[in-house]
Structure 1
Amino acid sequence: MNAAETMPLNVLGNPLQECGCDPMTGWFRDGSCRTDAADLGRHSVCCVVNEQFLSYSKAQGNDLTTPMPAYDFPGLKPGDHWCVCAARWLEAYQDGMAPPVRLEACEDSALAIIPLELLQDHAAAA
């Protein structure tokens, strides 16, 4: 990010914190759930993935557990932190499968799709 760009904010209105680097996550693969106009999926929700969500995501056609070496993707396991598309998280919420989120690492753009109260209700334990 260069000096001309503004610091991204989280859903609480504070500077966006890192989501996770092991494995490296984010639209920019920099550990942050910051996005830009090219990110049509809006990968802005920092989740602590669990078995329930990983199984749900796979059933929806997005297998996050199988390694894909061509994309330097090791596959996720429960407990990993991962930037999830806002619409996918909301869909998982509506189906009772939403994983916990790290509010301080969710970009504020997620609020265009997900009400803050839903995210707060699923906040991961600190």
Structure 2
Amino acid sequence: MAFQQHGLAIGINRTGDTFFLTLKAVGKLTHEDYEIITPVIESALAGVKKPTINALIDGTKLEGWEPRAAWDDFKLGINHGSQFKKIAIVGNKKWQQVAAKVGTWFVGGQVKYFEDETEALGWVTEH
């Protein structure tokens, strides 16, 4: 029996006095994954007036999205894109670098692609 892991893990981390959101995407994301994670993200943002969020996304184990999940991801970006100040995407595939560039169209802040997590962390936490 083959075991396929997929989903999104979300966390809040701190480096010095800088807090940032962490997301780790694994496998091929599904609509059901977004049905679980979207309310968590929206609940966390609901209590913050004028949130400005920095995020570190680890996509090194991301294989992509099912079509409906891609739409869910797009809607999440549209609904909350203006609240992000910086998004660092750590990846290891060419399409992820392209996706980071496309993401800048939907996010009010900066989106930058990295292949090195330490560099990404340094950039997302700098003032």
Where is the helix percentage greater, Structure 1 or Structure 2? 2
With normalisation by structure 1, the TM-score equals 0.33
Larger strand share, 1 or 2: 2
Could you tell me the TM-score, scaled by structure 2's length? 0.33
Q: Greater RCO between the two (CA within 8 Å, min separation 6)?
A: 1
